[in-house]
Structure 1
Amino acid sequence: MRNLYYQDRCLWAKTMAMFLQERQLDQLDCENLIKEIENMSGREKSSLESNLEILLIHLLKWKYQPNKRTNSWYRSIVEHRKRIHKAFRTSPSLKRHFEEVLTDVYQDSRKMASVETMLDIQIFPLDNPFSREQILNPDFPPQ
């Protein structure tokens, strides 16, 4: 079974699920199952951070380049908020991770907003100007 993990991960996963359903526990590739389960959490956290970064970039652009606002920025804000809320619904423990990474993700977002807008980075505040509530509020900021 261990070779199958490296040859065809999708087939390996289906096979592991079948073994679990049929209670054939002696057939399980426990080493790789453990690794995959541990990696699931990391992927969810990484996805949350990515969605948060994109959301913050567009919120910064929206706030500091009001004359260049576009519908695509608005759609991005709506879409990435939706993804974050969905992540919180399916994995409520990600709310804690959101709080833990917000400051660092903001710093990355600040840099990217500067690159994307070609504005001096000093235009964007060193400290996150958006509260958690504003970041997650579907009615903020677009008007």
Structure 2
Amino acid sequence: MTAQLPESQITSRSDLYEQDFYLWIQTTAELLKQKNFTQLDLENLIEEIETMGRSERRALESNLEVLLMHLLKYQIQTQRRSPSCQYTILEHRRRIEKALKESPSLKPHFDRIFEESYQAARGLAVIETGLPIATFPEQSPFTPQQILDPDFLPES
């Protein structure tokens, strides 16, 4: 059973989008199932679909930055290697692999943002370690293939 706002409170599908987003989603899904396309709030539906694509790209970038940062820390701070660090590497690698498996069309985006993400990871590594930026190579010492390789861990 779908909860509904009183009709007097809703003047259009667009208003529903603003007043009760979850109900808007349920209503939109039901209209799509019924193939009732004329009743759809197309403007907001298009915006939400585009936002979903941006969210997927941002999640990929975020996971890539965290993975690269931890690989840098693992490589530079050999005395501080821990199961927790290895877990973080494994977890973010797994998230990236899952995203690329579920959406192979993200791979070109991954390739495009690799170097930019590495630069962000360098900055994060400085904050996390307190070491000077010069400690970390200007260019990524890891290839995209290495960071996706489940058996890869950097040498000292």
Interval containing the TM-score (normalised by the shorter chain): over 0.9
* Structure 1 unaligned residues grouped into runs of 5+: none
User: What secondary structure does 1:93 align onto?
Assistant: helix
Q: Is residue 35 of structure 2 the alignment partner of residue 47 of structure 1?
A: no
User: What secondary structure does 2:35 align onto?
Assistant: coil
1:2 paired residue number: 14
1:118 CA displacement: 0.7
1:75 paired residue number: 87
TM-score between both structures, scaled by the size of structure 2: 0.89
Q: Which runs of 4+ in 1 moved over 4 A?
A: none
Which of these residues, 92, 99, 102, is aligned with residue 104 of structure 2? 92
1:112 paired residue number: 124
Contact kept, 8 Å, 2:75 with 2:154, in 1: the verdict is: no
Amino acid at match of 1:10: Y
Amino acid at match of 1:24: N
- Partners of 1:64 and 1:71 in 2: CA distance: 16
* Structure 2 unaligned residues grouped into runs of 5+: 1-12
Amino acid at match of 1:112: L
Q: Is residue 41 of structure 2 the alignment partner of residue 15 of structure 1?
A: no
1:133 CA displacement: 1.1
RMSD: 1.2
2:6 paired residue number: none
Which of these residues, 25, 41, 56, is aligned with residue 37 of structure 2? 25
Q: What is the percent sequence identity of the aligned residues?
A: 49
- Partners of 1:80 and 1:8 in 2: CA distance: 34
Which of these residues, 105, 113, 120, is aligned with residue 101 of structure 1? 113
Contact kept, 8 Å, 1:74 with 1:142, in 2: the verdict is: no
Structure 1 residues 112-135: Cα deviation after superposition (integer angstroms, max 9, x where no partner): 101101111101000010011111
Structure 1 residues 7-33: Cα deviation after superposition (integer angstroms, max 9, x where no partner): 222221111010000111111000000
- Partners of 2:85 and 2:154 in 1: CA distance: 10
Q: Is residue 41 of structure 2 the alignment partner of residue 34 of structure 1?
A: no
1:142 CA displacement: 6.8
Structure of greater Rg: 2
2:138 paired residue number: 126
User: What secondary structure does 2:48 align onto?
Assistant: helix
1:6 CA displacement: 1.3
